[in-house]
A and B are shown apart, each in its own frame.
Chain A
Amino acid sequence: MSRHLLSAADLDRDAAVEVLDTAELLDRSLTGREIKKLPTLRGRTVVNLFYEDSTRTRTSFELAAKRLSADVVNFSAKGSSVSKGESLKDTALTLEAMGADAVVIRHSYSGAATRLATWVRGSVINAGDGTHEHPTQALLDAFTMRRRLRGGEGDLTGLRVAIVGDVLHSRVARSNVLLLTTLGAEVTLVAPPTLVPVGVEQWPATVCYHLDQVLPDADVVMMLRVQHERMSASYFPSAREYARRYGLDQRRMNMLRPHSIVMHPGPMNRGMEIAAEVADHPKRSTIVEQVTNGVSVRMAVLYLLLGGSDE
Chain B
Amino acid sequence: MSVLLRNVKPYGEDPTDVLVVGDAIAQIGAALPADGADTVIEGNGAVLLPGLVDLHTHLREPGREDAETVESGSLAAALGGYTAVFAMPNTDPAADTAGVVEQIWRLGHESGLVDVQPIGAVTVARAGVQLAELGAMSDSAAQVRVFSDDGSCVSDPVLMRRALEYVKAFGGVIAQHAEEPRLTEGAQMNEGAVSARLGLAGWPAAAEEAIIARDALLTGHVGSRLHVCHVSTAGSVEILRWAKGKGWNVTAEVTPHHLLLTDDLAEGYDPVFKVNPPLRTAADVDALRAGLADGTIDCVATDHAPHAMEDKETEWGAASPGMLGLQTALSVVIETMVRPGLLDWHGVADRMSVAPARIGALAGHGREIAVGEPANLVLVDPDARWTVSAGELASKSRNTPFAGRSLPGRVIATLLRGRPTVLDGARVPVGAGTAGVGT
We find that the number of chain B residues with CB closer than 8 angstroms to chain A is: 24
Interface flag for A271 (CB, 8 Å): no
Of A81, A108, A200, A201, the contact of B314 (CB 8 Å cutoff):
A81
Of B191, B198, B202, B318, the contact of A132 (CB 8 Å cutoff):
B198
Contacts A111-B269, A132-B198 known; A199 to B314 CB distance under 8 Å? Answer: no
| A107: chain B residues within 8 A (beta carbon) | 315
| B317: chain A residues within 8 A (beta carbon) | 108-111, 130
Category for how many chain A residues contact B: 20 to 34
- What 0/1 readout, one digit per residue, does chain A (198-225) give for beta carbons within 8 Å of chain B? 1111110000000000000000000000
Interface flag for B235 (CB, 8 Å): no
| B282: chain A residues within 8 A (beta carbon) | none
Q: How far is the CA of A272 from the CA of B198 in the complex (A)?
A: 27
Which residue of chain A is the closest to B311 with respect to CB atoms? A82
Of B191, B196, B269, the contact of A115 (CB 8 Å cutoff):
B269
**Across the interface, do A199 and B196 meet the contact criterion of CB distance under 8 Å?**
yes
| A109: chain B residues within 8 A (beta carbon) | 315-318
Which residue of chain A is the closest to B310 with respect to CB atoms? A87
**Of listed A81, A107, A130, A202, residue having the most chain B CB within 10 A:** A130
**Across the interface, do A111 and B202 meet the contact criterion of CB distance under 8 Å?**
no
**Across the interface, do A110 and B318 meet the contact criterion of CB distance under 8 Å?**
no
B354-397 contacts to A (CB < 8 Å): none
Contacts A82-B318, A87-B310, A115-B269 known; A129 to B192 CB distance under 8 Å? Answer: no
| B191: chain A residues within 8 A (beta carbon) | 198-199
Q: Closest approach, in angstroms, between the C-beta of A6 and any C-beta of chain B?
A: 10
Q: How far is the CA of A107 from the CA of B269 in the complex (A)?
A: 14
Contacts A81-B318, A109-B315, A109-B316 known; A203 to B268 CB distance under 8 Å? Answer: no
| B268: chain A residues within 8 A (beta carbon) | 114, 118
**Across the interface, do A202 and B193 meet the contact criterion of CB distance under 8 Å?**
yes
Which residue of chain B is the closest to A197 with respect to CB atoms? B196
B69-95 contacts to A (CB < 8 Å): none
**Across the interface, do A129 and B199 meet the contact criterion of CB distance under 8 Å?**
yes
Of B195, B196, B313, B315, the contact of A112 (CB 8 Å cutoff):
B315
Interface flag for B200 (CB, 8 Å): yes
Interface flag for A66 (CB, 8 Å): no
**Across the interface, do A198 and B204 meet the contact criterion of CB distance under 8 Å?**
yes
**Across the interface, do B313 and A89 meet the contact criterion of CB distance under 8 Å?**
yes
**Across the interface, do A200 and B315 meet the contact criterion of CB distance under 8 Å?**
no
Interface flag for A171 (CB, 8 Å): yes
Q: How far is the CA of A98 from the CA of B216 in the complex (A)?
A: 59
Contacts A87-B313, A110-B269, A114-B268 known; A198 to B196 CB distance under 8 Å? Answer: yes
Interface flag for A52 (CB, 8 Å): no
- What 0/1 readout, one digit per residue, does chain B (162-177) give for beta carbons within 8 Å of chain A? 0000000000000000
Interface flag for B194 (CB, 8 Å): yes
- What 0/1 readout, one digit per residue, does chain B (183-201) give for beta carbons within 8 Å of chain A? 0000010011111111111
| A118: chain B residues within 8 A (beta carbon) | 268
Q: How far is the CA of A110 from the CA of B197 in the complex (A)?
A: 11
**Of listed A133, A199, A202, residue having the most chain B CB within 10 A:** A199
Q: How far is the CA of A171 from the CA of B197 in the complex (A)?
A: 10
Q: How far is the CA of A194 from the CA of B191 in the complex (A)?
A: 14
B313-328 contacts to A (CB < 8 Å): 313-318
Q: How far is the CA of A67 from the CA of B316 in the complex (A)?
A: 35
Q: How far is the CA of A261 from the CA of B316 in the complex (A)?
A: 38
- What 0/1 readout, one digit per residue, does chain B (132-150) give for beta carbons within 8 Å of chain A? 0000000000000000000
**Across the interface, do A197 and B318 meet the contact criterion of CB distance under 8 Å?**
no
Interface flag for A88 (CB, 8 Å): yes
Of B196, B201, B310, B316, the contact of A111 (CB 8 Å cutoff):
B316
Q: How far is the CA of A115 from the CA of B204 in the complex (A)?
A: 25
A107-131 contacts to B (CB < 8 Å): 107-112, 114-115, 118, 129-131
Q: How far is the CA of A130 from the CA of B315 in the complex (A)?
A: 11
**Across the interface, do B316 and A199 meet the contact criterion of CB distance under 8 Å?**
no
| B196: chain A residues within 8 A (beta carbon) | 197-200, 202-203
| B199: chain A residues within 8 A (beta carbon) | 110-111, 129-133, 171, 174
Interface flag for A40 (CB, 8 Å): no
| A81: chain B residues within 8 A (beta carbon) | 314-315, 318
Which residue of chain A is the closest to B269 with respect to CB atoms? A111
Which residue of chain A is the closest to B188 with respect to CB atoms? A110
- What 0/1 readout, one digit per residue, does chain A (49-92) give for beta carbons within 8 Å of chain B? 00000000000000000000000000000001110000111000
Of A89, A111, A115, A200, the contact of B200 (CB 8 Å cutoff):
A111
Q: How far is the CA of A115 from the CA of B201 in the complex (A)?
A: 18
Q: How far is the CA of A171 from the CA of B318 in the complex (A)?
A: 19
**Across the interface, do A110 and B316 meet the contact criterion of CB distance under 8 Å?**
yes
Q: Closest approach, in angstroms, between the C-beta of A164 and any C-beta of chain B?
A: 18
**Of listed A109, A112, A203, residue having the most chain B CB within 10 A:** A109
Q: How far is the CA of A99 from the CA of B80 in the complex (A)?
A: 45
B256-300 contacts to A (CB < 8 Å): 268-270
Query: Beyond the given A108-B317, A111-B198, could you list 16 further A-B residue pairs with CB under 8 A, ordered by the A residue number?
Result: A81-B315, A81-B318, A87-B310, A87-B313, A89-B313, A110-B188, A111-B316, A112-B315, A114-B269, A115-B314, A130-B200, A131-B200, A131-B201, A132-B199, A174-B199, A202-B193
Interface residues of A (CB under 8 A from B): 80-82, 87-89, 107-112, 114-115, 118, 129-133, 171, 174, 197-203
9 contacts between A and B (CB under 8 A): A87-B314, A89-B313, A89-B314, A114-B268, A115-B269, A115-B314, A130-B200, A131-B200, A198-B204
Interface residues of B (CB under 8 A from A): 188, 191-202, 204, 268-270, 310, 313-318
